[in-house]
């Protein structure tokens, strides 16, 4: 499978250039545009969610928002050019994928590594259809694999946590213990330890991406053990982390407890009374990736058989600075310094438990 270092900036510039060229052309070009618009209306994209749900305030929701923007960009209506299928259980993956195939969707996304087997199976069964999977690699000639440098963004929010903690105890709550979520964990722990190797990091996994009650319980235990900042990479399970932090803040406004969001900016999820308990969020631009890959498919340039990689250096990964009351200028300056080190390859951010151990041993 081919690998492509994917530049969002380049794609956006290219899109603008194509648009300007079209605007400056003759009547013949206008006729071509009309034909293209007619072709656009025939192109359809389906999206199959993971079990966290399309409104998980995180990964699935960001993907769906990207597809909605793509539909809006081309004047399409939901269910008449683009649509999502909700997976409430793992047993829903294949039926949802098959429904889009039967309905002749041109491109079908599987959102999350848990759809890897389903995408692999159905792509082999339907070699004339195009598929894309997020956060995994499926080695099929009709599949585009979309991946992100999650560990890099997680490193930066780890730096933020280390600079903000007052108890020298922070936490990480993952959804399913897996290679993908381990990237978030490893990057976060490395970021924390790079600032202060003595800070304790409590790592726990809920075992699911749709278990808000479990997320709330784990968060409660962490906060009760003096953890004051929790970074979650748990999809819908993370809503329970926010709920627990807000309960604590509501009952004790003088206590500082924080949550670090993931995938999309979860600032709004942290509003409680006159406060906001979202310290920051690790931004993973799944929305833009879905939108751009859909455009590539529509334009006849679908990256079949390729792996697209989105990282900090091309703005595919980032960190939210929206909570100005929580993030001081000094903190932001330090975060930016570490960001530059990552971009300049002065820091090799670990992505696995083994790499994390080597990283910590070298501190």
What architecture does CATH give domain 150-284+328-361? 3-Layer(aba) Sandwich (3.40)
Residue 208 has pLDDT above 80, yes or no: yes
Residue spans of alpha helices (H) in the chain: 8-23, 27-42, 59-73, 93-102, 116-125, 150-164, 179-195, 212-224, 238-251, 286-298, 329-343, 353-361
Residue 336 has pLDDT above 70, yes or no: yes
Residue 4 has pLDDT above 70, yes or no: no
Question: What pLDDT is stored for residue 164 in this prediction?
Answer: 98
The CATH code of the domain at 2-148+285-314 is 3.40.50.2300
- Both structure tokens of 307: 């792996």
Question: What digits encode the pLDDT tens for the residues 59-85?
Answer: 899 999 999 999 999 999 999 999 999
Summary mean pLDDT of the chain: 91
329 SS3 class: helix
CATH fold match for the domains 2-148+285-314 and 150-284+328-361: yes
Determine how β-strand 77-78 pairs with β-strand 229-233: unpaired
What are the boundaries of each domain within the chain? 2-148+285-314, 150-284+328-361
Residue 29 has pLDDT above 70, yes or no: no
- How far apart, in whole angstroms, are the C-alpha atoms of residue 47 and residue 100? 9
- How far apart, in whole angstroms, are the C-alpha atoms of residue 132 and residue 116? 10
Question: What pLDDT is stored for residue 161 in this prediction?
Answer: 98
* Averaged pLDDT for residues 328-336: 98
* Averaged pLDDT for residues 274-283: 97
Question: What pLDDT is stored for residue 5 in this prediction?
Answer: 53
Question: What pLDDT is stored for residue 35 in this prediction?
Answer: 44
* Averaged pLDDT for residues 142-158: 97
Residue 39 has pLDDT above 80, yes or no: no
Kindly report whether the global pTM for this prediction surpasses the value 0.75: yes
């Amino acid at each position: 499978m081919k690998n492509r270092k994917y530049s969002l900036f380049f794609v956006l510039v290219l899109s603008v250039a194509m648009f300007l060229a079209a605007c400056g052309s003759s009547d013949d070009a206008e006729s071509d545009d009309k034909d293209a618009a007619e072709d656009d209306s025939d192109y359809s994209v389906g999206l199959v969610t993971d079990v966290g749900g399309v409104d998980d305030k995180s990964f699935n929701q960001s993907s769906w928002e990207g597809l909605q923007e793509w539909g809006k960009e081309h004047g399409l209506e939901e269910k008449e050019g683009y649509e999502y299928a909700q997976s409430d259980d793992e047993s829903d993956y294949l039926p949802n994928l098959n429904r889009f195939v039967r309905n002749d969707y041109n491109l079908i996304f599987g959102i999350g590594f848990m759809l890897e087997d389903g995408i692999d199976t159905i792509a082999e069964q339907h070699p004339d259809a195009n598929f894309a999977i997020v956060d995994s690699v499926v080695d099929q000639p009709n599949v585009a694999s979309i991946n992100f440098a999650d560990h890099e963004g997680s490193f930066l929010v780890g730096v933020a946590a280390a600079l903000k903690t007052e108890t020298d105890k922070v936490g990480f709550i993952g959804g399913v213990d897996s290679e993908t979520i381990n990237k978030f964990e490893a990057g976060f722990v490395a970021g924390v330890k790079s600032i202060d190797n003595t800070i304790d990091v409590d790592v726990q996994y809920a075992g699911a991406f749709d278990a808000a009650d479990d997320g709330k319980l784990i968060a409660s235990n962490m906060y009760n053990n003096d953890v004051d900042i929790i970074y979650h990479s748990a999809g819908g399970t993370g809503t329970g982390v926010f709920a627990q932090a807000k309960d604590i803040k509501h009952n004790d406004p003088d206590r500082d407890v924080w949550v670090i969001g993931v995938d999309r900016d979860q600032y709004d999820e942290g509003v409680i009374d006159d406060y906001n308990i979202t310290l920051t969020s690790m931004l993973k631009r799944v929305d833009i990736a879905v939108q751009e890959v859909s455009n590539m498919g529509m334009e006849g340039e679908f990256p079949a058989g390729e792996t697209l990689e989105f990282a900090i250096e091309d703005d595919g990964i980032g960190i939210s600075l929206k909570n100005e009351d929580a993030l001081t200028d000094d903190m932001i300056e330090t975060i930016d310094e570490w960001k530059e080190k990552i971009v300049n390859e002065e820091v090799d951010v670990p992505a696995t438990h083994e790499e994390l151990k080597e990283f910590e041993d070298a501190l």
